[in-house]
Amino acid sequence: MNKVAWITGAGKGLGRHVAMQFAEKGWRVVVSARTASDLYTLQSDCQAMSGEIIPCAADISDESRMAALVETIERDIGPLDLAVLNAGTYIRFGAEDFTVEKFRDQIDTNVMGTVNCLAPVVEAMKPRRQGRIAIVSSLTAYRGLPMASAYGASKAALTNMGEALRPELEQLGITLSIVHPGFVRTPLTDKNEFPMPFLMEPDTAARRIVQGLERGKFEITMPRRFAYLLKIGRCLPYRLYFAITRRMIGS
């Protein structure tokens, strides 16, 4: 039987390319996103592959919908072998337009939206004592960056959650990975008007994710040079770190 994967945020960008690579490997891939037309375009583009793309429009902010979707996958398609929880968004704002609403929207989507997917997936995998889960965080989780107070906080929360859950889920037979991508060319990053160092193409980033999952790695980072620089940044004292970040905002 073909293995079954569920990939959220698969309509565009990184999620779309991850779905394509698993379909090319013969997996049955349930793809979800808010825009149904993107999913059907993906399905059409993958028709010649050995696997199968199964579109399912859904919003990760809907807790009951996510639980129902996992139940439907398990019942009608097959037991989930893998879930890639990729859906999320980036709302760029700084201190001048900092509001409760903007911050809450970012946290609700990126953190609670992921949790809405994660909880039913874990419940489905526990009885079988097997399965893999990947949570897509970001290299911004390593340290606070200007104009990304909410985004970085949301991704840091995902990374911290993954670090906490990894050993606990291992005892249940479930492997959890955290993905830390840098800048990947997507419709979201296409809107950025600032320099994006080490910008990666989505198919290259997706290949790194698939390879990392196949190896059972906990942390999957890309591009490596950018990841190393940011990891070094975590060790800098605040005096030096803020000297760098002030330059990023032109002060």
The residues facing 30 across adjacent strands are: 6, 54
Residue 196 is part of a domain; what is its CATH number?
Answer: 3.40.50.720
Range of the domain at 45: 4-248
Question: What integer pLDDT is reported at residue 142 of this predicted model?
Answer: 93
Please give the structure tokens belonging to residue 103: 């911050």
**Cα–Cα distance, 27 to 20 (Å, whole number):** 10
Chain position carrying tokens 């893998």: 82
Structural domains counted in the chain: 1
| Residues known to be catalytic | 151
Question: What integer pLDDT is reported at residue 1 of this predicted model?
Answer: 59
Question: What integer pLDDT is reported at residue 190 of this predicted model?
Answer: 59
Q: From first to last of its 251 residues, what are the pLDDT tens digits of the chain?
A: 589 999 999 999 999 999 999 999 999 999 999 999 999 999 999 999 999 999 999 999 999 999 999 999 999 999 999 999 999 998 889 999 999 999 999 999 999 999 999 999 999 999 999 999 999 999 999 998 888 999 999 999 999 999 999 999 999 999 999 999 987 777 666 566 556 667 788 899 999 999 999 999 999 998 888 888 888 888 999 999 889 888 878 75
Question: What integer pLDDT is reported at residue 213 of this predicted model?
Answer: 96
Sign of CA dihedral 29, 35, 40, 43: negative
Question: What integer pLDDT is reported at residue 32 of this predicted model?
Answer: 98
Helix (H, G, I), strand (E, B) or coil at 37: helix
**Cα–Cα distance, 179 to 158 (Å, whole number):** 10
In the chain, the amino acid numbered 199 is L
Question: What integer pLDDT is reported at residue 251 of this predicted model?
Answer: 55
Question: What integer pLDDT is reported at residue 88 of this predicted model?
Answer: 94
Query: Can you give 194-221 as a three-state secondary structure string?
Result: CCCCCCECHHHHHHHHHHHHHCCCCEEE
Cis peptide before 146 (omega within 30 of 0): no
In the chain, the amino acid numbered 64 is S
